[in-house]
Amino acid sequence: MASNELAQPEVPNFIALLRSFPGQARLALGTRGVLWATFAGIIGVICCAVAFADIALSLHRSDVDPERRKAREVLALDGASRLLMRGILANSAATPGAGAARVADEPWRNFTESLSALCRDFAVPPQTRLAGACAAQQDFIDRVGPEIQAFDTHRRPMDATVLRELLQIRDDITELSLSTTRATDHMVGRLVDDYGEALLVLTLSTTGFVCAGLVLILLVGRTSMDYHAQWRRAADAAQQAGASRDMLSEVVEALPAGIVVYDSTEHLILCNSVARTLTPALRQPDAIGQTYSALAHESARRLEAAGMGPQPVQEWIERFRTRTTERTRQSDDGRWFDWSEKGTAGGLTVGLRVDVTDLKQHEFALEKARAEQESVRARYQSLVDSMVDVAYTLDVETGQFTFVNAAVADMFSMPPERFVGKHFLELIAPDSIERVRQQTTRKYDPSDQGTFARFSMIAAGGAVRNVEVRARRWVDEQGRIVSTGVIRDVDERVQLERRLDSEMNRLRSIVESNGALIVLVDHALNVEMVNSGFTALTGITATDAVGRPLQEILPCPLDPARTKRSRFAVRKRDASGRERLISITATPATDAGGAVSNIMLLGVDDTERREAEQALYNAERFATVGEMASTMAHEISQPLQVINIACASALDELALASENGGQPDPAFLQGKLDRIAQQVEQASRIIGDLRAFVRGTSSDTPEPFDANEAVRRAIDLTDHGLGEAGMTLQERLDAELPTVLGDAGHLAQVLVNLINNARDAGGGVISIATGTVQENDRTFVRIAVEDSGPGIASDILPRLFTSFVTTKPSGKGTGLGLRICRRILEEMGGRITAANRAEGGARFEILLPSQ
């Protein structure tokens, strides 16, 4: 039978053949063969694609018709121009007279038509007379045509300008004709090269395609030979499989247990004689091929007919499909059989039917061992009685305790034997009865993970105690729902928790009563808590704020990776719309690993104090303006002197030209006027810097600016004062400095304050430098102001940036300059530090975040 199946394979349809082709190819050629065939096919397709693409490109490159048409029109225009010039020459040589022939009229008409066609169809080279004639063609015809007609009819000499223009156009046409001829020659050469290249590519592609075809032919030939060899091996294997199947049938029949085998669709494919003896339904002639469900129903029908009573057919089917073991009585002679099924990797289900009558008899002997179990239970009871918590068992249906340990006497002052039989609701405090009843009367669910509840119970002496109950329900051997659990006295812990809640409420009231703004954020800068001060200042309630990113409700330059306390100032409009200045101190809280877990923001409304400080600082700034008045006079006098000299030189040039009766030198006057404009611009810049310093601001909103410009502005404002004090200022500015966000006028104010402080301290040589530094993966612009003076006193240095601290004599300084400088820089997201240099003098360093 196997030989016939191999000799006459089933012929699949076309769709089935396409679906099975990948698997058949992999089976026939092997993985390496499939790779070779795929590679050969890809090479063939690539060769064809390359050949077609190159031919298409060569055809595209050989666009001959436009070039030929252009050459024809250029040559036509060249011939027409030759005839026109020849006619003009012929008329010039002819004897004047009324009877002379008109020889230039027809060439002129041909020339204008050829010129119109060329100008319409092609682009004429620019910067030539021919291009000009094309651009103003009608004007050219109207201008030259009458001259040609007058010359041709009346023998009037042609205008020299027109004749010159015709000769230049003739030269342009000749040059265009030569360039067109060269382009045509180049195009023909390129066509030859392109077709030669295309022929070479086509030859190579054809060779590659032929090689790919040979590879495919070799693979198909080898596959045919392998297929024949595999067919022979398959025939031998089929014979061996038949012999193995016969041997397996003999082995299965020799086993003392019942063996049944079902396929993946639950159809019976094999059973031995022992299985047929145990299962009457298997004795049918057509049992092989029937499903397990049909055989089970047939077996149940026969057992019920033999008086065995109703049989659980659905349980049999469910057990079979879940492949579980069930010991059940299936024989009318009282024997017991252990039925089991197990699935195989190939999808088969193998059933084993083993006689376990002897094992069943041993179970009766186990009843005698129950007395010994009682002693074990006693030992278990002693172990349970040693527990501090009350262990219990409760009949859920009756609500009565069926078991408790000895700990019940300590909690309820009642021995266990008296406690057993009590209803559990008798011991529940009135305020907890309804909640306990709802939990204990819920429907039983085998997947229930149990109960964990905290409520109040009536303990010894009628005292109400807080307890925790952990319980789980299950079904015992009699089918009753039983609850087993542990009762733990947690009254002291509950009291501690209540005290903790009270303390937390008190702490919350303290936080809420504080007039400051308090915000708690996590490591991702999401808001976790805000107080009423935040709501009063921003108008955002705690419900709207908690869970949102901090930057959405309070934008601020906060670095979540910074583990040190930081201070900064932000501007925020309150509920009435007034802009408030909030000074914020950010205090991070770290975990055991040193990472930031939370950040506490404490903000104080600094608007009124800042306005008062600003008023004092304005007074100090205006005093500084008074000091710089002489500087401004000196700075402005220099441009005015240059302007005066330039005006005098220009007037002298005009007077000299008038005396000599000639024209003044325009270049000389232009240079003087440019010099005057430069000096006016410089004076305007000086006045603008002073005006910005006096105003104290140059912009109401932060904008990107170059810190070097603010440094230069500060140098311009303080340069003259330093010179009068006998000091020098050195600058080292980084040309590649990134921009910062803020106000250039404010930064210039800070630098002017630092430079003037160094001057007042007798700084000697003052230097200012700019550069960049990296901190926590961020780029900061650094501005350092140093001097070689006496430095800062050690008792002043720690509190240098606090209010009303000054090193100047009484009556000269307010002690607010550096404090306001720090506030200005904090509003820009930066900071300022001060230190004494090792070689002498003070050093102030400003760090501003780059944009």
Mean of pLDDT over the chain: 77
Cα–Cα–Cα angle for 143, 146, 150, nearest 5°?
A: 145
Q: Give the dihedral of Cα atoms 766, 772, 773, 779; nearest 10 deg.
A: 140
Of the candidate ranges 205-209, 222-226, 252-256, 263-267, the one whose mean pLDDT is the lowest: 222-226
Q: Residue 313: is it exposed, middle or buried by C-beta count within 10 angstroms (0-12/13-18/19+)?
A: middle
Residue 780: is its pLDDT beyond 90? yes
**Would you state the pLDDT for residue 746?**
81
- pLDDT-derived band at 518, boundaries 50, 70, 90: confident
Per-residue pLDDT tens digits for 280-324 = 778 788 888 888 888 888 888 887 887 777 888 888 888 788 776
640-696 pLDDT, tens digit each? 766 776 787 788 778 888 888 778 888 888 887 887 887 777 677 667 666 665 555
Contact 235, 257 (CB under 8 A): no
Mind listing the pLDDT tens digit for each residue in 76-115?
877 877 787 777 777 666 555 444 445 567 787 787 877 7
pLDDT at 711: 92
Residue 430 has pLDDT above 80, yes or no: yes
**pLDDT of the residue at 807:** 55
What lies within 8 Å, CB to CB, of 814 at 6+ separation is: 616, 617, 619, 620, 804, 806
Residue indicated by tokens 């305007």: 684
Report the pLDDT value the prediction gives residue 365, as an integer from 0 to 100.
67
User: Long-range contacts: 66-71, Cβ < 8 Å, 24+?
Assistant: 67/183, 67/184, 67/187, 68/184, 69/121, 70/121, 70/122, 70/180, 71/180, 71/181, 71/184
Above 80 in pLDDT, residue 46?
yes
pTM score > 0.85 for this model?
no
446 — pLDDT class (breaks 50, 70, 90) = confident
pLDDT of residue 99: 44
Give the dihedral of Cα atoms 791, 796, 799, 804; nearest 10 deg.
-110
Q: What is the pLDDT of residue 844?
A: 94
The model's pLDDT over 792-830, given as tens digits with 9 standing for 90+, comes to 888 888 878 875 445 554 444 444 578 778 888 888 889
Give the pair of three-digit tokens for residue 621: 């700034």
Say which residues have a Cβ less than 8 Å from residue 801's Cβ, sequence separation at least 6.
818, 819, 821, 822, 832, 834
pLDDT band at 832 (very low <50, low <70, confident <90, very high): very high
Instruction: Determine the Cα–Cα distance for residues 772 and 305; give it in Å rounded to an integer.
Output: 100
Task: Kindly tell me if the per-residue pLDDT of 4 is higher than 50.
Answer: no
pLDDT of residue 19: 66
Residue pLDDT, tens place only, 554-589: 888 887 877 788 888 888 887 777 788 888 888 898
3-state secondary structure 761-789: CCCCEEEEEEEEEEECCEEEEEEEEEECC
Burial bucket for residue 543 (CB in 10 Å: 0-12, 13-18, 19+): exposed
Better-scored residue on pLDDT, 18 or 74: 74
